[in-house]
């Protein structure tokens, strides 16, 4: 007989939840979702002028899809492999990342469409909605990093349902109501995802987690797998921050700023990683994570005239606070505030996200027609309306950060308590960070010595 409160068996729970969710998604997509003008056979061809070929080249597909694919790689390879650093949790890291991302991007399409994309009662989809859905998914995966190893896939899906919904609400308030700039999501994605996840893991606090302590660390090969995630995130971050800016100079400039910020961040990361170690040895945890903080920290200001100079200063600061956070703040958060943050998302997404929001507010407040010329309204939409006021713009950016923090902490609190119900098959304290609970796990190979599979004699005969 199944004891629902202690069993971790997923045989009914996971299939039921997946199938119900997907059926609901399919029904809602059938009722609400339509191709937009650039994907619809009738609408696209009706809108075209006569010069067919020229016009087809102007489909937004050609100007957004390469960015989308880079973002897609970050979501599935970047986040997925970054979390494989745990020695016995590689299947779950990549696999659950895959599952909740595949769910979240569908749910996000509906939620974001509902809050800010309805056209005559229908949600219009195309490559831009694909990018936005991936962005929202990124936020869920950030939160996943905080609870990594301590949650069942059912819990993660339930978390995604709530987080995606709240993400869409927060994004609507910031972008549509407050008119905030946040193309690369320092606030909407990173700050929101980080503090949401930190609050969830706080509510799910496990006083006896040290029973699984021996598995809560890396091994040599798992650190190399994690570096695959790191490097892909690092390389494609310029595409991430620039994916949904306006066309032309803003997109180009965002990619460039992010590139310089990350490069400076990487040097800061190596410097401080060696500095905080008594023997001057580099720590893989810092390299894997802190080197990315530079991308987070220019997520708001990246499209502005931050200059390469400014970007590098921001990146250098982000890398520095991130390493110091890993070294000095994370242990305190755990011991004093009972926040068990498996991947250290507070150091990679939380603090750098807040830094990015502040940099964005300051850069907004300093913007002027003298610097931006006719390009001002391409970056700050309200400059077009004539109500342009840099200082109030900076103020609205600051308010946006406060709203995001509030929404994230409140949402994480509620979601945390929902996830605390003993019905989701969460792992016991003794079996956290362990694939074997939810996966068929093969053994380790016994070695590749040739004489295991053929004696030298046999092999000689075969090769003669």
Of 317-356, binders to a second copy (CB under 8 A) are none
Find all residues with CB under 8 Å of 2, minimum gap 6, and list them.
9
Of 66 and 406, which CB lies nearer to a second copy in the complex structure? Answer: 66
Q: Are 33 and 123 in contact (CB under 8 A)?
A: yes
One residue of 181, 222, 241, 415 binding a second copy per CB under 8 A: 222
Q: Is 41 an interacting residue with respect to a second copy (CB under 8 A)?
A: yes
Q: Is 206 an interacting residue with respect to a second copy (CB under 8 A)?
A: no
Least distance CB 82 / a second copy (angstroms): 13
One residue of 135, 196, 316, 326 binding a second copy per CB under 8 A: 316
Least distance CB 195 / a second copy (angstroms): 27
DSSP string across 14-44: HHHHHHHHHHHHHHHHHHHEEE-TTT-HHHH
Q: Are 286 and 272 in contact (CB under 8 A)?
A: yes
Strand order from edge to edge, sheet including 33-35: 33-35, 122-125, 118-119
Query: Which listed range, 35-43, 162-170, 184-192, 407-415, lies at the site for a second copy (CB under 8 A)?
Result: 35-43
Query: Which listed range, 43-51, 176-184, 347-355, 358-366, lies at the site for a second copy (CB under 8 A)?
Result: 43-51
Residue 258 DSSP SS3 = helix
Of 403-442, binders to a second copy (CB under 8 A) are 428, 430-431, 434-442
Is beta strand 122-125 parallel, antiparallel or unpaired with respect to 33-35?
parallel
Least distance CB 411 / a second copy (angstroms): 23
Q: Select from 138, 221, 198, 135 the least CA-distant residue to 343.
A: 198
Phi, psi (rounded to 5 degrees) for 34 = -135, 155
Helix crossing, 127-147 with 61-73: angle to 10°?
10
Give residue 149's region: left, alpha or beta (phi > 0; psi -120 to 50).
left
In which residue are the tokens 């695959």 written? Answer: 228
Least distance CB 58 / a second copy (angstroms): 6
β-bridge partners, 34: 124
Of 248-307, binders to a second copy (CB under 8 A) are 248-253, 255-256, 259-260, 262-264, 266-268, 270-272, 274-275, 277-284, 287, 291, 305, 307
Is beta strand 118-119 parallel, antiparallel or unpaired with respect to 33-35?
unpaired
Of 76 and 196, which CB lies nearer to a second copy in the complex structure? Answer: 76
Q: Is 84 an interacting residue with respect to a second copy (CB under 8 A)?
A: yes
Of 53 and 335, which CB lies nearer to a second copy in the complex structure? Answer: 53
Q: Are 194 and 404 in contact (CB under 8 A)?
A: no
Query: Which listed range, 44-52, 162-170, 200-208, 408-416, lies at the site for a second copy (CB under 8 A)?
Result: 44-52
Of 375 and 399, which CB lies nearer to a second copy in the complex structure? Answer: 375
Q: What angle do CA 348, 138, 77 make, to 5 degrees?
A: 85
Token pair of 299 as six digits: 């997520």
Q: Is 125 an interacting residue with respect to a second copy (CB under 8 A)?
A: yes
One residue of 82, 103, 173, 194 binding a second copy per CB under 8 A: 103
Of 5-34, binders to a second copy (CB under 8 A) are 6-15, 18-19, 21-22, 25-26, 29-30, 33-34
Least distance CB 232 / a second copy (angstroms): 7
Size of the site for a second copy (CB under 8 A): 165
What is the x/- site pattern for a second copy, positions 133-172, by CB under 8 A? --------------------x-------------------
């Amino acid at each position: 007989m199944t004891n629902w409160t202690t069993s971790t068996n997923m045989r009914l729970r996971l299939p039921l939840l997946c199938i119900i969710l997907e059926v609901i998604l399919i029904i809602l997509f059938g009722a609400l979702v339509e191709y937009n003008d650039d994907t619809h056979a009738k609408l696209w061809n009706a809108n075209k002028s006569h010069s067919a070929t020229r016009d087809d080249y102007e489909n937004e597909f050609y100007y957004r899809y390469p960015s989308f694919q880079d973002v897609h790689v970050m979501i599935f390879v970047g986040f997925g492999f970054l979390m494989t650093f745990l020695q016995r949790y590689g299947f779950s890291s990549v696999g659950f990342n895959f599952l909740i991302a595949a769910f979240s991007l569908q749910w996000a399409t509906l939620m974001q469409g509902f809050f800010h994309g309805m056209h005559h009662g229908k949600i219009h989809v195309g490559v831009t909605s694909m990018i936005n859905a991936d962005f929202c998914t990124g936020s869920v995966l950030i939160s996943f990093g905080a609870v990594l190893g301590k949650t069942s896939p059912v819990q993660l899906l339930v978390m995604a349902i709530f987080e995606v919904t709240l993400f869409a609400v927060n994004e609507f308030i910031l972008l549509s109501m407050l008119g905030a700039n946040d193309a690369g999501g320092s606030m909407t994605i990173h700050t929101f995802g980080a503090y949401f996840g930190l609050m969830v893991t706080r509510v799910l606090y496990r006083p006896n987690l040290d029973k699984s302590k021996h598995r809560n660390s890396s091994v040599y090969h798992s650190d190399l797998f994690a570096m695959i995630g790191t490097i892909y995130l690092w390389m494609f971050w310029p595409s991430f921050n620039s994916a949904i800016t306006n066309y032309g100079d803003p997109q180009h400039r965002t990619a460039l700023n992010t590139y310089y910020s990350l490069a400076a961040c990487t040097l800061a990361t190596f410097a401080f990683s060696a500095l905080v170690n008594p023997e001057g040895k580099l720590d893989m945890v810092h390299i894997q994570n802190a080197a990315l903080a530079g991308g987070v920290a220019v997520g708001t200001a990246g499209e502005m005239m931050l200059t390469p100079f400014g970007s590098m200063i921001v990146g250098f600061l982000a890398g520095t606070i991130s390493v110091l956070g890993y070294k000095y703040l994370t242990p305190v958060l755990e011991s004093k505030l009972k926040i068990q943050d498996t991947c250290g998302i507070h150091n990679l997404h939380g603090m750098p996200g807040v830094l990015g929001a502040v940099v964005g507010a300051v850069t907004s407040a300093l913007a002027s027609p003298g610097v931006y010329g006719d390009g001002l309204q391409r970056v700050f939409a309200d400059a077009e309306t004539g109500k342009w006021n840099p200082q109030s713009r900076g103020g609205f950016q600051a308010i946006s950060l406060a709203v995001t923090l509030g929404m994230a902490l409140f949402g994480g609190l509620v979601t945390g308590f929902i996830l605390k119900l003993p019905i989701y098959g969460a792992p016991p304290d003794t079996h956290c960070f362990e694939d074997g609970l939810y996966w068929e796990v093969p053994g380790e190979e016994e070695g590749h010595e040739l004489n295991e599979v053929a004696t030298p004699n046999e092999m000689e005969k075969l090769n003669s």
